[in-house]
Structure 1
Amino acid sequence: MHHGNPICLTIHEILSGDYGLILNKVDENKLITQREYNNLKSINNANAETHVIELVDKIMNKGEKTCKDFLNLLQTDGAIKETFPLLAMSSCQHGNTHVTQYRNTVRPVGLCVIINNKNFKDGSQRRGTDKDARNLAEVFKCLGFRVLMCEDLNKDQMDQALTFVASLADMSHFVDPQQVLEHGDAFICSILSHGKKGVVLGTDRNPLPIKEITRKFRGCDQSVLTGKPKVFLIQACQGSNIQHGVQLMETDDDTSPLTIPEEADVLVAMATVEDHAALRHIVDGSWFVQSLCEQLKERCPRGEDIVSILHYVNDDVAHRETSSLAKQMPEVRFTLRKKLVLPPQRT
Structure 2
Amino acid sequence: MFDSESVYKMTSPIRGRCLIINNNSFSDLSKGNGGTGSDRKGSEVDVENISGLFKSLAFKWETIHRDLTAKKLLETIQKETEHADHKNYGMFVLVVMTHGSDYHLSGSDGVPVPRTSIFDLLSASQFPSMAGKPKLLIFQACSGGKYNTN
Instruction: Name the TM-score, length of structure 1 as normaliser.
Output: 0.38
The one-letter code of the counterpart of 2:21 is I
- Aligned to 1:197, the other structure's residue is in SS state coil
CA gap 1:99/1:193 in 2 versus in 1, 3 angstroms: same
Query: Any idea what the Cα deviations from partners look like across 1:43-102, whole Å, max 9, x if unmatched?
Result: xxxxxxxxxxxxxxxxxxxxxxxxxxxxxxxxxxxxxxxxxxxxxxx756xxxxx34421
Query: Any idea what the Cα deviations from partners look like across 1:141-188, whole Å, max 9, x if unmatched?
Result: 1101003410110101101001111122xxxxxxxxxxxx61111000
**Structure 1 stretches lacking a partner, 5+ long:** 1-89, 93-97, 169-180, 243-278, 280-325, 328-347
The one-letter code of the counterpart of 1:146 is K
- The equivalent of 2:33 in structure 1 is none
Aligned equivalents of 1:107, 1:216: Cα separation in 2: 26
4+ runs deviating over 6 angstroms: none
- 1:1-347 to 2 correspondences below 5 Å: 91=2, 98-122=4-28, 124-147=38-61, 148-168=63-83, 182-183=85-86, 184-220=89-125, 223-242=128-147, 279=148, 326-327=149-150
Query: Any idea what the Cα deviations from partners look like across 1:187-213, whole Å, max 9, x if unmatched?
Result: 000000000121100010001111110
Aligned equivalents of 1:122, 1:218: Cα separation in 2: 30
Query: Any idea what the Cα deviations from partners look like across 1:258-304, whole Å, max 9, x if unmatched?
Result: xxxxxxxxxxxxxxxxxxxxx5xxxxxxxxxxxxxxxxxxxxxxxxx
User: What's the % identity of the aligned pairs?
Assistant: 27
Instruction: Name the TM-score, length of structure 2 as normaliser.
Output: 0.84
Aligned equivalents of 2:50, 2:146: Cα separation in 1: 27
Aligned equivalents of 1:122, 1:191: Cα separation in 2: 19
The one-letter code of the counterpart of 1:182 is D
Aligned equivalents of 1:221, 1:118: Cα separation in 2: 28
Aligned equivalents of 2:103, 2:136: Cα separation in 1: 17
CA contact under 8 A between 1:167 and 1:223: conserved in structure 2?
no
CA contact under 8 A between 1:194 and 1:200: conserved in structure 2?
yes
The one-letter code of the counterpart of 1:227 is G
Quote the offset at 1:222 in angstroms: 7.2
Aligned equivalents of 2:25, 2:127: Cα separation in 1: 36
Aligned alpha-carbon RMSD (Å): 2.1
The one-letter code of the counterpart of 2:67 is D
Aligned equivalents of 2:22, 2:68: Cα separation in 1: 8
CA gap 1:222/1:133 in 2 versus in 1, 3 angstroms: closer
CA contact under 8 A between 2:81 and 2:127: conserved in structure 1?
no
- Greater CA radius of gyration, 1 or 2? 1
Higher relative contact order (CA 8 A, sep 6+): 2
**Structure 2 stretches lacking a partner, 5+ long:** 30-37
